[in-house]
A and B are shown apart, each in its own frame.
Chain A
Amino acid sequence: AQSVAQPEDQVNVAEGNPLTVKCTYSVSGNPYLFWYVQYPNRGLQFLLKYITGDNLVKGSYGFEAEFNKSQTSFHLKKPSALVSDSALYFCAVRDITGTALIFGKGTTLSVSS
């Protein structure tokens, strides 16, 4: 079965430092991977996706993600964190039927000033 794991419940970084939010996946076939962000009391907003091609994917708000097939990982990164990046981040993968998205449990990012 398709699944994703986010091994860290919380990530703390100082403003201006680089950030990484980790995600590993398990799929049958090609992985179609997504990152979403959720700000307090809001819905999920799409950040970026990996479908095929370049292993470094660029997305919204300066975020990027690195796809690594050998490590089955899709880590979210940003070179310089902002306090406003503080939010809940979800990694997701398309299920085997290509229908729904299967989500990880989420990682809370806290950026301190």
Chain B
Amino acid sequence: NAGVTQTPKFQVLKTGQSMTLQCAQDMNHNSMYWYRQDPGMGLRLIYYSASEGTTDKGEVPNGYNVSRLNKREFSLRLESAAPSQTSVYFCASSWTGRVDTEAFFGQGTRLTVV
């Protein structure tokens, strides 16, 4: 049982390049999330998806797009990377409508934009 799997684990981009971060979960969860982690800022929500076919903006969505490909997969795309997007990105999943359940996190993608 892999839980939440993110690829790649590390990536270096040049300013203006694009890339897609991949996330898949095998727990049959309805909800999936993308967070970014920056020193002293904690984790901030970028986008989330409460069910297949729906996505919503979080606290810091600018510069990102997402796709909920199916129930298992939720990708995050940077169309034109900027140095301010240097961060560690975490994907997570949980049950929709179950406020008493925790979210499960992937191992993270460390992205550097130069």
Contacts and interface: CB of A to CB of B under 8 A. Distances in A.
Interface of A: 9, 32, 34, 36, 41-46, 49, 51, 90, 94, 98-106
B103 interface: yes
A52 B17 CA distance: 47
B107 A32 contact: no
Given A99-B50, A100-B33, A46 B99 contact: no
Interface of B: 4, 31, 33, 35, 40-45, 48, 50, 56, 58, 90, 92, 96-100, 102-108
A76 B11 CA distance: 34
A94 B98 CA distance: 10
A104 B42 contact: yes
Contacts of A103: 35, 42-44
A45 B108 CA distance: 12
Nearest to A105: B42
A42 to B, nearest CB: 6
9 contacts: A42-B108, A44-B90, A49-B100, A49-B102, A90-B42, A98-B98, A99-B50, A99-B56, A104-B42
Given A99-B50, A105-B40, A44 B45 contact: no
Contacts of A99: 31, 48, 50, 56, 96
